[in-house]
Structure 1
Amino acid sequence: MISGHPTLNQQVTFLYSEDVEASWRFYSEILRLPLIQDQGTCRIYEAAPGGRAFLGICRAKAPRATMDPRVEGGVVITFIADDVDCWYEYLKARGVEIPYPPTFNEFYRVYHFFFQDPAGYTLEIQRFERPDWVDPPC
């Protein structure tokens, strides 16, 4: 702990879906994230091994106002992986529509691609190509 500063132990990002059944199938069957907790209208999946990062996929109470993830209040969920090309092929083979193949972004120095889940959230698989990114703990 940093002196005088509390630590954060885990992180959960909650996403809301009008067709929650389709979203649950996507996260459990396509991405194969382990289900950690089923709360009835919300299911929480482990997003990375080690019990530190989670995604909560919940039944929406109202329709989305916009499909643009880069407006205020928008969201992009990024999964970090060593083999971005393998993820690209894996998702395409399972029928996930991916508008562009993986590319290198010179500005951010990441190799990545984007796609959407059934609720329209933008997801990204990326690998950092920079020495200053922290490696996950062992």
Structure 2
Amino acid sequence: MAATRPDHAATQLLITFLYYKDLPRAIRFYEDVLGFTLAIDQGWSKIYHVTGSGHVGLVDESRGSHRAHPVKPVQICFRVADVDAWYAYLAEIGVDALRPPRSSEELKIRAFVFNDPEGYQIEIQSALD
């Protein structure tokens, strides 16, 4: 007898968890710089609403399932309406490792990257029309 996979329509949230040595610093960045709203406060884990059912979770590495590591093989990407407005804002406040926007006809995007306080790379992109 074959197992019946549950329907994804019943999935409530998508959460990507990132692990931090300094959780309060990460919280300030995601709230104050990126403007995300805290959706679920689990104490040592903070889950922020990004868009629709998409969320990012910030976890105190001393309590979570994983530990923070200096190599961050994860990139968080946010698709926005105006990539250049986001670039101007982030350049003005001086985020870490900010690179200028570039357009890719192959991918049909305009995008730039920067790092969060512990080195996770964030990409901001817009679709090319």
**Do these two structures clear the TM 0.5 threshold for a shared fold by scoring above it?**
yes
Q: Do the aligned partners of 1:17 and 1:57 also contact (CA within 8 Å) in 2?
A: yes
Q: Does the residue aligned with 2:25 lie in a helix, a strand or coil?
A: helix
Distance 2:97 2:21 in 1: 21
Q: What stretches of structure 1 move > 3 A for 4+ residues in a row?
A: none
- Output one character per residue of 1:39-79: Cα deviation in whole Å (capped at 9) or x when no partner: 1111111011x4x1111001113340524xxxxxx211100
Q: Does the residue aligned with 1:107 lie in a helix, a strand or coil?
A: coil
Instruction: List gaps (5 residues or longer) in structure 1.
Output: 68-73, 131-138
Q: Do the aligned partners of 1:38 and 1:44 also contact (CA within 8 Å) in 2?
A: yes
TM-score by length of 2: 0.83
Post-superposition shift, 1:90?
A: 1.1
Partner of 1:136: none
Match of 1:10 among 8, 13, 35: 13
Distance 1:43 1:5 in 2: 27
- Output one character per residue of 1:68-109: Cα deviation in whole Å (capped at 9) or x when no partner: xxxxxx211100101000001111222213432111023212
TM-score by length of 1: 0.78
Distance 2:90 2:124 in 1: 11
Q: Do the aligned partners of 2:31 and 2:37 also contact (CA within 8 Å) in 1?
A: yes
Partner of 2:128: 129
Matched, 1:64 2:69: yes
Give the counterpart letter for 1:119 in structure 2: E
Q: Does the residue aligned with 2:12 lie in a helix, a strand or coil?
A: coil
Partner of 2:98: 99
State the identity as a percent.
Answer: 34
Instruction: List gaps (5 residues or longer) in structure 2.
Output: none
Question: Considering only aligned residues, what root-mean-square deviation do their CA atoms show, in Å?
Answer: 1.8
Partner of 1:135: none
Report which of the two has the higher share of helix. Answer: 2
Q: Do the aligned partners of 1:102 and 1:111 also contact (CA within 8 Å) in 2?
A: yes
